[in-house]
C-alpha cells in the first residue's frame, strides 16, 4: 500500500473525543453517565436565525459565492466587532472560514513556513498544537500553571518573543481554564507586543460574549491601536450563538492577512453556502437576548462549580470568569488509590472517575497541564450538582 503523507502522522486524535467516546460507550451499555467532557453550548440560536435560513432557501441561487465572504455577512460582522470595541475596520480587513478551527488552520498556512516558531501559553486549546504540527511549525509553550491563575505574564511573553517567533497565538477567554484577562492585563501584554515587531499576533477570542463579573472583553488593539497591522482577531458563531454545527468563522486583521486567507479560501473551500451566510447574518445582527441570557446562566453555573470544587480538600480551582470551563488542580489525588485502583496521573484519574462514578472530564495533559482536568459545565443544571457531588465522593474515597 502507498504511504500516507507524514503530516497526517503528526496529527493526533483529539483526547477530548477519546474520553467522550468512552462515555458514549458506557452510556450505550446502560450506565448512568454525566458528561463534563465536550465544550459544546447546550442551547439553540434564536428563532430569527432559522427564519432567515428558511427565507434564504426560498431564493437560493445555488451559485458559488465570495471567497472573502458575502458583503452582507462582512457588514454584519463589522457591526458586531464595532459593538465589541474594534474601530476603523472595513471589509478589506475581513475574511471567512468554515468555523474558527478552519480559520486558524488557514492562518497557520498563511503565516507559518515549515520550521517557523509559534508560541502560545499552556493550558492551551488542544487544536493549537495539532495545527502547528500539521504545518510543521516549531512550538514554544509558555507554561502558566494554577499558581499564576493560568495567566500569561508580561515577563513570560517578553522572553518568548525575544526568540522572534513568527506567530504568538493568544486565547481570551480561555478554553480550557475559563480565565479572562482584564483591561490592565491586556494593556501590559500589549506593551510587550509593541516591543517585538517581527511577530504576528492571533487572538482567538471566540468566547468573547461569555465574560462574567463585569470584566468585559478586551483586545490588544484597544490598548495599543498601532498593533492593528499585526493583530488578527478570530471569531465564530459557534459558542456565542449556539451554532457550532453551522460552521462559520471570521477574522478581522491587517488587509494583507485577510487577502492571504481569502486566497487560501479560493483554493480550499471557495465560499460559504448562501443559507449558512443568511443564518450567520441573522445571528450577528438580530436580537442578542440568547447570548446575553446564556452568559448569565453560565456565570451562575460557574458559581455552583467553584463552590463544589472549593469544598474538596486539596483541590484548587482558580476562579473562571468566562466561557464555560473550570480547570481544577487535581494533583492531590496522584499517588493515591480508589478502591484498589492506583492513580498516578491525570489520565488515570479521569479514567477511574469515569469508571467508578460515571463522570466524564478531560485530562489536563491534553491541554498541556497534567496537574489538572477540564470540566465543561454546559450540561443542564439538573445534572451539574449530582455530577459535582460524584466528583467530591470520588475524592473522599481515595486513600
Ligand atoms: N478556539 C477555541 C478556543 C475553541 O474552544 C474552539 C472550539 O471548541 C474553537 C476555536 C473552534 O471553534 P469553531 O466551532 O468555530 O470551529
Q: Which domain holds residue 137?
A: 48-285
Backbone angles phi, psi at 362, to 5 degrees: -105, 130
Tell me the CA–centroid distance for residue 178 and ligand 1, in Å.
Answer: 13
Q: Indicate which atom in ligand 1 lies nearest the CA of residue 236.
A: 15
Backbone angles phi, psi at 228, to 5 degrees: -55, -30
- Residue 106 to residue 261: CA distance in whole angstroms: 6
- Residue 142 to residue 160: CA distance in whole angstroms: 7
Residue nearest (by alpha carbon) to ligand 1 atom 5:
175
Answer with the one of 243, 267, 285 that is the final residue of a domain. 285
Residue nearest (by alpha carbon) to ligand 1 atom 8:
39
Tell whether 237 and 297 lie within a shared domain: no
- Residue 323 to residue 326: CA distance in whole angstroms: 9
Q: How far apart, in Å, are the Cα atoms of 173 and each of 102, 105, 106, 221?
A: 19, 20, 22, 16
**Distance between first and last Cα of the chain:** 51
The grid coordinates listed for 362 are 478531560
In a domain, 194, yes or no: yes
Q: What is the DSSP letter of 177?
A: T
Q: Indicate which atom in ligand 1 lies nearest the CA of residue 248.
A: 15
Tell whether 152 and 253 lie within a shared domain: yes
Tell me the CA–centroid distance for residue 360 and ligand 1, in Å.
Answer: 20
Answer with the one of 250, 285, 320 that is the final residue of a domain. 285
pLDDT grade, residue 232 (50/70/90)? very high
Residue 125 CB less than 6 A away from ligand 1? yes
Residue 175 CB less than 6 A away from ligand 1? yes
- Residue 317 to residue 372: CA distance in whole angstroms: 9
Q: Indicate which atom in ligand 1 lies nearest the CA of residue 249.
A: 15
Residue 39 CB less than 6 A away from ligand 1? yes
Probe target for ligand 1 pocket from 175, 237, 246, with the most ligand atoms within 8 Å of CB: 175
Helices then strands, counting H and E runs in the chain, come out as 14, 14
Tell me the CA–centroid distance for residue 59 and ligand 1, in Å.
Answer: 31
Tell whether 371 and 339 lie within a shared domain: yes
Tell whether 193 and 91 lie within a shared domain: yes
> Among 16, 15, 40, 170, which residue's Cα sits nearest to residue 99?
40
Tell me the CA–centroid distance for residue 249 and ligand 1, in Å.
Answer: 9
CATH number of the domain to which 32 belongs? 3.90.1150.10
Residue 9 pLDDT more than 90?
Answer: no
Backbone angles phi, psi at 370, to 5 degrees: -70, 0
In a domain, 99, yes or no: yes
Contact 254, 229 (CB under 8 A): yes
pLDDT grade, residue 100 (50/70/90)? very high
Probe target for ligand 1 pocket from 38, 239, 240, with the most ligand atoms within 8 Å of CB: 239
In a domain, 167, yes or no: yes
In a domain, 64, yes or no: yes
pLDDT grade, residue 218 (50/70/90)? very high
Tell whether 199 and 126 lie within a shared domain: yes
Say if residue 302 is exposed, middle or buried (CB neighbours under 10 Å; 0-12, 13-18, 19+): buried
Q: Indicate which atom in ligand 1 lies nearest the CA of residue 204.
A: 1
Query: How confident is the model at residue 41, as a pLDDT?
Result: 86
pLDDT grade, residue 16 (50/70/90)? confident
Residue 354 pLDDT more than 80?
Answer: yes
Residue nearest (by alpha carbon) to ligand 1 atom 12:
100
Tell whether 272 and 220 lie within a shared domain: yes
How many domains are there within the chain?
2
- Look up the pTM and report it: 0.96
Contact 350, 383 (CB under 8 A): no
Tell whether 78 and 29 lie within a shared domain: no
Probe target for ligand 1 pocket from 20, 106, 206, 376, with the most ligand atoms within 8 Å of CB: 206
Residue 240 CB less than 6 A away from ligand 1? no
DSSP of 66-90, one letter per residue? -SS--HHHHHHHHHHHHHHT--S--
- Strand, helix or coil for residue 107: helix
- Strand, helix or coil for residue 372: strand
Tell whether 351 and 236 lie within a shared domain: no
Residue 228 CB less than 6 A away from ligand 1? no
Residue 386 CB less than 6 A away from ligand 1? no
Residue 100 CB less than 6 A away from ligand 1? yes
pLDDT grade, residue 42 (50/70/90)? confident
In a domain, 196, yes or no: yes
pLDDT grade, residue 18 (50/70/90)? confident
Look at strands 249-252 and 94-97 and give their pairing.
Answer: antiparallel
In a domain, 235, yes or no: yes
Tell me the CA–centroid distance for residue 130 and ligand 1, in Å.
Answer: 13
- Residue 266 to residue 155: CA distance in whole angstroms: 40
Say if residue 188 is exposed, middle or buried (CB neighbours under 10 Å; 0-12, 13-18, 19+): middle
- Residue 185 to residue 131: CA distance in whole angstroms: 27
Residue 173 CB less than 6 A away from ligand 1? no
Tell whether 17 and 66 lie within a shared domain: no
Query: How confident is the model at residue 254, as a pLDDT?
Result: 98
The grid coordinates listed for 53 are 435560513
Q: How far apart, in Å, are the Cα atoms of 55 and each of 63, 95, 115, 271, 348?
A: 17, 24, 48, 20, 50
The grid coordinates listed for 92 are 478589506
Answer with the one of 285, 306, 341 that is the final residue of a domain. 285
Query: How confident is the model at residue 158, as a pLDDT?
Result: 98
Residue 101 CB less than 6 A away from ligand 1? yes
User: What share of the chain in percent tops pLDDT 90?
Assistant: 92
Tell whether 255 and 314 lie within a shared domain: no
In a domain, 1, yes or no: no
For residues 298-315, average pLDDT:
97
Q: What is the DSSP letter of 236?
A: E
Tell whether 19 and 157 lie within a shared domain: no
CATH number of the domain to which 87 belongs? 3.40.640.10
- Residue 139 to residue 331: CA distance in whole angstroms: 26
Tell whether 15 and 108 lie within a shared domain: no
In a domain, 157, yes or no: yes
Amino acid at each position: 500500500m502507498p504511504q500516507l503523507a507524514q503530516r497526517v502522522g503528526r496529527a493526533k486524535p483529539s483526547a477530548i473525543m477519546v474520553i467522550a467516546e468512552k462515555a458514549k460507550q458506557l452510556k450505550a451499555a446502560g450506565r448512568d453517565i454525566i458528561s463534563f467532557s465536550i465544550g459544546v453550548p447546550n442551547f439553540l440560536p434564536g428563532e430569527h436565525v432559522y427564519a432567515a435560513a428558511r427565507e434564504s432557501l426560498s431564493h437560493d441561487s445555488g451559485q458559488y459565492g465570495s471567497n472573502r465572504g458575502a458583503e452582507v455577512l462582512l457588514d454584519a460582522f463589522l457591526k458586531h466587532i464595532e459593538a465589541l470595541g474594534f474601530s476603523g475596520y472595513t471589509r478589506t480587513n475581513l475574511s471567512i472560514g468554515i468555523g474558527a478551527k478552519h480559520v486558524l488552520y488557514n492562518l497557520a498556512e498563511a503565516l507559518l513556513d515549515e520550521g517557523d516558531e509559534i508560541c502560545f501559553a499552556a493550558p492551551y486549546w488542544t487544536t493549537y498544537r495539532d495545527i502547528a504540527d500539521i504545518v510543521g511549525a516549531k512550538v514554544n509553550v509558555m507554561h502558566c500553571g494554577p499558581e499564576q491563575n493560568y495567566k500569561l505574564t508580561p515577563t513570560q511573553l517578553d522572553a518568548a518573543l525575544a526568540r522572534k517567533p513568527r506567530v504568538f497565538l493568544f486565547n481570551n477567554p480561555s478554553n480550557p481554564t475559563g480565565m479572562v484577562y482584564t483591561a490592565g492585563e491586556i494593556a501590559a501584554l500589549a506593551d510587550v507586543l509593541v516591543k517585538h515587531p517581527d511577530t504576528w499576533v492571533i487572538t482567538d477570542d471566540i468566547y468573547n460574549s461569555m465574560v462574567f463579573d463585569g470584566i468585559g472583553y478586551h483586545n490588544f488593539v484597544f490598548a495599543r491601536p498601532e498593533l492593528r497591522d499585526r493583530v488578527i482577531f478570530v471569531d465564530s458563531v459557534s459558542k456565542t450563538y449556539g451554532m457550532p454545527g453551522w460552521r462559520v468563522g471570521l477574522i478581522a486583521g491587517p488587509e494583507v492577512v485577510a487577502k492571504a486567507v481569502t486566497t487560501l479560501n479560493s483554493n480550499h473551500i471557495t465560499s460559504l453556502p448562501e443559507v449558512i451566510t443568511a443564518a450567520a447574518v441573522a445571528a450577528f445582527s438580530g436580537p442578542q437576548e440568547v447570548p446575553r441570557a446564556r452568559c448569565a446562566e453560565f456565570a451562575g453555573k460557574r458559581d455552583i462549580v467553584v463552590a463544589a470544587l472549593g469544598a474538596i480538600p486539596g483541590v484548587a480551582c482558580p476562579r473562571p470568569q468566562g466561557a464555560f470551563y473550570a480547570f481544577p488542580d487535581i494533583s492531590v489525588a496522584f499517588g493515591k488509590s480508589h478502591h484498589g485502583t492506583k492513580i498516578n496521573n491525570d489520565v488515570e484519574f479521569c479514567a477511574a472517575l469515569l469508571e467508578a462514578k460515571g463522570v466524564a472530564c478531560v485530562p489536563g495533559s491534553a491541554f498541556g497541564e497534567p496537574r489538572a482536568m477540564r470540566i465543561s459545565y454546559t450540561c443542564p443544571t439538573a445534572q451539574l450538582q449530582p455530577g459535582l457531588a460524584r466528583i467530591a465522593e470520588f475524592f473522599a474515597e481515595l486513600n
